[in-house]
Structure 1
Amino acid sequence: MTQEYSVEAILLTVRDCGTADRMVTLFSRQYGKIAAVAFGARRPKSSFAGCLQPFSHVDLLLVRNRGGECIRQCEIIRGHRKLREELPRMVYTALVAEIVTELWPEHQPDPEVFELLLDVLSALEERNPRVAAIAAAWQLLALAGFAPEYRRCVACGSGVSLPAHFNIGAGGVMCPACGGSQASFTEGQADLLTKFLTLDFRNPGRFTVNAAALADLEKLLGQCLVYHLEKELKTWNFIRRFERPGTG
């Protein structure tokens, strides 16, 4: 038995499969993450030509059967072409897409994540892509249930004076009495993290970012992602090489 249905979606990843097909991972407003095949999408005369591009905002007609979902029609709402043509924007957008792909299970609707992605894609096109991606990643971690605690000790609940030890496994800072001996999380990081977690991507305004605090938060973000996903993201490895050209 087949079921035909329409979705509004953001294409997270698009890869070749088979001899002429494409496998698409998308995040839809109505049903969350979905993996679907576009049969014949790589053929020269395919109706999907130029349509199924990563990071595009689209309307799709899907068909569900015993073998899974397949894409029957695709109409572009906003292509976000700039995110695929400029390497820094492409890399950091791919990071956001991979985080969503890894953190959210299939067919779990989450309209808040969908709306955030729409706004983040626009910010990645127009603003500093590194700052936008790191801020988005922290917000996604929070939406996935991994919001960090950095004003109170995660062990005893007492207020913590920064700098303090950040225990990734425990989910936040620890006071000296609870074993927080390595005071590496600073007030500058806390201020920037607050800014990132509360940033309205639809109306981000203009603000300055301390380079050292940004680098520290990016490093901490990578460590948190590895802990929660139990692996390192493919995009993260590329970003480290991209940010430090000439290193092995």
Structure 2
Amino acid sequence: MTRYYSVDAIVLKAMDYGEGHRIFTFYSREEGKLSAIARGIKKQTSKLKGHLQLGNRCHLLLYRGRNLDTVSQAAATSVYSHIRENPKAYLYSSYLLELLDSSVPEREPNAELFYLAHEVLTSMAELEPALAVHYFEIHLLRLLGYEANFRRCIHCGRPLKEGFLSPRFEGIVGEECGEGYPVSAQALYALTYYSESQLPQIGRLKISKETEKMMARVTRHMLDFHLDRKLRSVDILQDLT
């Protein structure tokens, strides 16, 4: 049986290893999250160097090793040049990559999640990066099995007009069930719209800066319930708002 296999993958992160190598983490359609070493990639003559850039979507040929796989060939299929040309999009895409890396275990493929990440990265050419990432956060939660309901109180199930983000609960509660950070009717409507819409549709909904801040606070509060570490890029994004 051959030990070579091919995957369609997005580059999530890279770590220097030894003098001339790097270990990459990828999220692939076929295998889920995986790690592999690219030997000699720091050399100027390396054929892998230009393809294995953070955030690139690549076709990879990997060799399955005993402890760590090896990148044999790589060809970038999407480089998302619009992200590198836009500092704000670059910061939000970096957060997306870190969030994806932190949210999933290795070798548990989810093709829908792979295509969601690709679609959101692509959409930053036209959509406001912050809004595209909120869409990713909401649908990432759904694909991980933590689908949010922004229409009803998470505690009693009553319909919500406005609500509160309670530190004791994962989602939104009504005023009868708790208190905390207030979430406006506009923010609840936007969160519901994002959760029930396709990505190209979200640009039709015009929201204020204050509503966007509320959305960010809600989605990141919910993600904190399911992640075991704080993401470094979150602090950078908060400085933008």
TM-score (norm 2): 0.90
1:49/1:205 CA distance change after superposition, 3 Å: same
For residue 18 of structure 1, report the CA deviation from its aligned partner. 1.9
Q: Any gaps of 5 or more consecutive residues in structure 1?
A: none
1:111/1:155 CA distance change after superposition, 3 Å: same
C-alpha distance after superposition, 1:91-139 (max 9, x if no partner): 1001111111011101001011011112111112332111111221221
For residue 26 of structure 1, report the CA deviation from its aligned partner. 0.9
Relative to structure 2, which stretch is displaced further, 226-235 or 46-55? 226-235
**Separation of aligned partners in 1, 2:189 and 2:110:** 28
For residue 207 of structure 1, report the CA deviation from its aligned partner. 3.2
**Separation of aligned partners in 2, 1:111 and 1:162:** 35
Relative to structure 2, which stretch is displaced further, 191-200 or 58-67? 191-200
Q: CA RMSD in A?
A: 2.1
- Counterpart of 1:103 in structure 2 is 103
**Separation of aligned partners in 2, 1:238 and 1:56:** 22
Relative to structure 2, which stretch is displaced further, 61-70 or 10-19? 10-19
For residue 210 of structure 1, report the CA deviation from its aligned partner. 2.1
What percent identity do the matched residue pairs reach?
A: 26
**Separation of aligned partners in 1, 2:156 and 2:204:** 37
Of 197, 219, 229, the residue aligned with 1:221 is: 219
**Separation of aligned partners in 2, 1:204 and 1:96:** 18
- Counterpart of 1:174 in structure 2 is 173
Relative to structure 2, which stretch is displaced further, 198-207 or 23-32? 198-207
For residue 205 of structure 1, report the CA deviation from its aligned partner. 5.1
Does 1:235 pair with 2:204?
no
The answer to whether the 8 A contact 2:16-2:23 is kept is yes
**Separation of aligned partners in 1, 2:187 and 2:99:** 22
Does 1:53 pair with 2:50?
no
Of 174, 177, 188, the residue aligned with 2:186 is: 188
**Separation of aligned partners in 2, 1:235 and 1:37:** 25
**Separation of aligned partners in 2, 1:108 and 1:133:** 22
TM-score (norm 1): 0.88
- Counterpart of 2:113 in structure 1 is 113
1:182/1:80 CA distance change after superposition, 3 Å: closer
Relative to structure 2, which stretch is displaced further, 35-44 or 166-175? 166-175
- Counterpart of 1:82 in structure 2 is 82
1:15/1:80 CA distance change after superposition, 3 Å: farther
**Separation of aligned partners in 2, 1:120 and 1:37:** 27
1:111/1:53 CA distance change after superposition, 3 Å: same
